[in-house]
Structure 1
């Protein structure tokens, strides 16, 4: 293609694997013939302000590439900026394409989740309307694992590994004293319970897992759950409950919904689910309760990266570049699983319209009949994604990251 420059951005929430995808994009672009590889600082919002860097300036040696793969969060910075609906001549789109033209961009790669894929769709639609030959490719990223089409998303495996490890340790901690207690561990997940379901991976031949897993896919009858909890405590003194931040009651209302605060995409802010449940159970059952909120720790725990996750994140970034060079636009790269044991997946691509603004939830058949746990279907799906570890690059006893921009 005539334009041989590529630009890449990151958007949405950080993960422990998103920078491995960035490394894959960079290496793919260099190996497949791009002249220049630019990075958007703070996603599409930064592009509008022309905050653009030449990645050759920072990714100038093999060590920095390896450090980047091991660095959590979004190296380029992120945003939660919603593009307006596509209208020919819209000033926002004119500005974006003017900047891209000024930098002689032929391929635009955006690494992100659901809302980021909406950005790719709108930009590729605008390009078609206006005859632009720039190619727009989405590379998936989200710890929430809620993108459709793809078997799973980069970032999920590492977050799941971290959650399972934390749950195992919390279970150990909860059993120290001979008393009745309930510990609620709040895990991210607004409408889809993939992260909370990962708590089940803590249980194996050597470690114990949670006693209950509460997912947003199942409406919670709180009175019934309190009865189940009380019955359980007749035979087991210390209970650990993994709970999604976004669990709803049987009427579909989030337990912790904040009606006043919303983000740029109109999502109501959620918090305090574990605290709410801990207070309620303490009052109802008169037992010691604790609320543990893992919060942002689960998104960027690079010390517990899954090797499978990091390798796949790199590969899907690399192949996203190849898709753009091959002429694809308005697509998202995705994983298709071929085998569970031994685990095998391949990278494919799909039309972005099949992904943007659509959520994938934990299938009902992967959840226990009573709705308080997950079954073997989920375990077989998720376990391969947390396998393997990366060797740490350490400085002064601490895992090292690439120097911040």
Structure 2
């Protein structure tokens, strides 16, 4: 007997989140066990209101657009669920004859997914997680769909800024990346380098306490030697006490909002060193750029979406589709099933082997790990100044 499937998006979108959605829909359309393919229009909150759309009615031609559409075509949310909401979901699933529930998201979404799985364990409902996060902080897995495209964006962006700064080497540019407590995107800026003294000249990650004196010394030395300096920093930089290096500007019951780290550090350079400085913060541009979408990232996003459907149809439940690297010279992945309780709110940060001793750069080991995920080489620029050196 046929049953219905529901796919739900949670948290911040990525450049390839809709590619996973494409994988889910296309795989489900081909499976005789599935009748309706529902999308929750507006994230987890939409489950409680029954705001579902049958995505299976969309033509294959239209669905192809998902592969190059950033954001999330069915909407997302950060709705705070209470225990009573999870109990309500079971009845809603039954009302709509939903047997397969797929959650696509990061740490918080996998926590929700795990809780839904637990409450559905005694019901004929299979719950599966699909990984997603630009921050790359999902535990256990090698990397998550969304990160490769964010890494490609920051590498290309820093490479472009580097040419601008080299052309007029009179100031320091501080670029701030997203990532909260994990510095994966910040670290990926190192892929912009082609030669010695290429930008980024300094990289500061939240995995290491930020030392203001060392930072200023590093910047001053590079400025005296190069004239123009590019620094990439994480939005989550903290001091030795574990506090943000910028003070909070607004607080609510659920969150604390801080000022821009890049603006703070640029001002510090001006005040303490007397050097012209400016800040840049790509912000949402880094996760919404379909133009700089990584093909590897997109293909893997489709794959985990398809496999989530396959696993659900097999009757398995309570797992997230993982991504592991297959050892060898050629980049390949495998997709193990990860129990949800191993990824629920567990945060993965950069290992020590990926960070240099002084804490102001990444290692060659990180470059080797990250390079395959952005799927291409950066543009080859021509700069006549380099030929005179």
Does TM, scored on the shorter chain, surpass 0.5?
Answer: yes
Q: Say yes or no: does 1:280 pair with 2:268.
A: yes
Whether contact under 8 Å (2:149, 2:374) holds in the other structure is yes
Contact 1:168-1:207 at 8 Å conserved across structures? no
**1:4 Cα deviation (Å)?**
1.9
Answering whether residue 345 of structure 2 is matched by residue 351 of structure 1, we say no
SS at match of 2:257: strand
TM-score where L is the length of structure 1:
0.89
In the alignment, does 2:48 pair up with 1:48? yes
Note closer, same or farther for the CA distance 1:73–1:340 as it changes in structure 2 (3 Å cut): farther
Shift of 1:32: 2.4
Given that 2:354 and 2:363 are in contact with CA atoms closer than 8 Å, whether structure 1 keeps it comes out as yes
Give how far 1:364 is off: 1.1
- The alpha-carbon deviation at position 83 of structure 1 amounts to 2.3
Cα separation, 2, equivalents of 1:207 and 1:68: 40
Q: Return the offset for 1:257.
A: 4.9
**TM-aligned CA distance change 1:216 to 1:262, over 3 Å:** farther
Mapped contact 1:274–1:292 kept (Cα < 8 A): yes
Distance 1:340 1:269 in 2: 43
Unaligned 5+ segments in structure 2 are 378-389
Question: Does the 8 Å contact 1:184/1:243 carry over to 2?
Answer: yes
For 1:51 and 1:298, locate their aligned partners in 2 and report how far apart those are by CA, in whole Å.
30
CA drift of 1:47 comes to 1.3
Note closer, same or farther for the CA distance 1:97–1:3 as it changes in structure 2 (3 Å cut).
farther
Q: SS of the residue aligned with 2:133?
A: coil
Q: Spell out the pairing of 1:328-343 with structure 2 (5 A cutoff).
A: 328-339=316-327, 341-343=329-331
Contact 1:246–1:270 (Cα < 8 Å) also in 2:
no
Match of 1:221 in 2: 211
Shift of 1:176: 2.2
- Matched with 1:251 is 241
CA RMSD for the aligned pairs? 1.7
User: How many Å separate the matches in 2 of 1:257 and 1:76?
Assistant: 36
SS in 2 for 1:208: coil
Shift of 1:178: 4.5
Q: Is the alpha carbon distance of 1:84 and 1:385 closer, same or farther for their aligned partners in structure 2, counting shifts above 3 Å?
A: same
The Cα shift of 1:262 comes to: 5.0
Identify the residue that residue 191 of structure 1 maps to in structure 2. Answer: 181
CA distance in 2, matches of 1:374, 1:334: 25
How many Å separate the matches in 2 of 1:207 and 1:26? 47
Q: Distance in 1 between matches of 2:94 and 2:197?
A: 56
In 1, Cα distance between equivalents of 2:247 and 2:54: 42
Maintained 8 Å contact 1:3/1:106: no
Tell me which residue corresponds to 2:62: 64
Matching residue of 2:152: 161
Counterpart secondary structure, 1:287: coil
Task: Name the CA distance, whole Å, in 2 between partners of 1:202 and 1:219.
Answer: 24
Structure 1 residues without counterparts, runs of 5 or longer:
390-405
